[in-house]
Amino acid sequence: MDWALRFMGVGNASAVQLGSPMAVIERDGRPWLTIDCGGEGLTAFQAHYGHVPQALFVTHVHLDHVAGFERLFVDAYFSPQRRGRIRLYVPATVVPLLHKRVADYPNVLAEGGANFWDAFQLIVVGDAFWHDGVRLEVFPVRHHWPETAYGLRLKGAVTWSGDTRPIPEMLARYADDNELIAHDCGLHGNPSHTGVDDLEREYTPELQARMMLYH
């Protein structure tokens, strides 16, 4: 299998011109698993691939990461081929937050008769899950509040930090097989995100050499 990581955007809520911080794990040149679903990111995905994502992992529920779900719901619900078939892998502690953020609007269709989750196949995940015969690992990161944000690892291929402060103890375990490390990083760190000085202080040169920085 030939794995690749394609970014749909690298911006944040204040830098929409750079797109949503969203990526796609490709297998043999085809989209395999999409990470998050920002508004601008979903637009970029459709422009590049010509269709909507068929499987997604949600890292956390800030709107630059999940604002595309309203459009994705409409596309999936009104398509007999896609309704109930788009797989959403969501960490267990993120499910209630995602529901409140994108799924709890009263009467999701004006004419009634529909629930938001009718459009998707929701798969609640813990420390690991299987997608298309391949095992992926999930790990907590440091973003705003405990148990609200998570990273993702495809062993031997890629580790996605998600939005986070430095997490050297996690990468020691979840990036120990020469993975490409896609890591949150701005020019200056803050209580929500990692900065360049944080990277240089917290990570070994070997880890830094494998990092692709975004956000």
Taking a C-beta distance cutoff of 8 angstroms, is the pair 135, 128 a contact? yes
pLDDT on residue 189: 82
Question: Mean pLDDT over residues 155-180, rounded?
Answer: 98
Residues with Cβ within 8 Å of residue 202, at least 6 apart in sequence: 166, 168
Task: Give yes or no for residue 19 having a pLDDT over 70.
Answer: yes
Sign of CA dihedral 169, 175, 131, 99: positive
Contacts 24+ apart (CB under 8 A), 33-37: 33/57, 33/89, 33/131, 33/132, 33/136, 34/8, 35/59, 35/152, 35/160, 36/65, 36/66, 37/65, 37/66, 37/67, 37/68, 37/69, 37/72
pLDDT digits (tens, 9 = 90+) for 24-82: 999 999 999 999 999 999 999 999 999 999 999 999 999 999 999 999 999 999 999 99
Q: How confident is the model at residue 13 (pLDDT cuts 50, 70, 90)?
A: low
pLDDT digits (tens, 9 = 90+) for 112-159: 999 999 999 999 999 999 999 999 999 999 999 999 999 999 999 999
State how far the Cα of 21 lies from the Cα of 40, in Å rounded to an integer. Answer: 9
Amino acid at 44: A
What is the distance of C-alpha 155 from the center of its chain? Answer: 16
- The residue with tokens 């490409």 is 180
The CATH superfamily of 3-162 is: Ribonuclease Z/Hydroxyacylglutathione hydrolase-like (3.60.15.10)
pTM of the model: 0.95
Q: How confident is the model at residue 215 (pLDDT cuts 50, 70, 90)?
A: confident
Query: Percent of the chain, pLDDT > 70?
Result: 97
How is the chain split into domains, by residue range?
3-162
Task: Give yes or no for residue 17 having a pLDDT over 90.
Answer: no
Task: Name the residue among 165, 185, 144, 153 with its Cα closest to residue 61.
Answer: 144
**Token pair in block for residue 55:** 């499987």
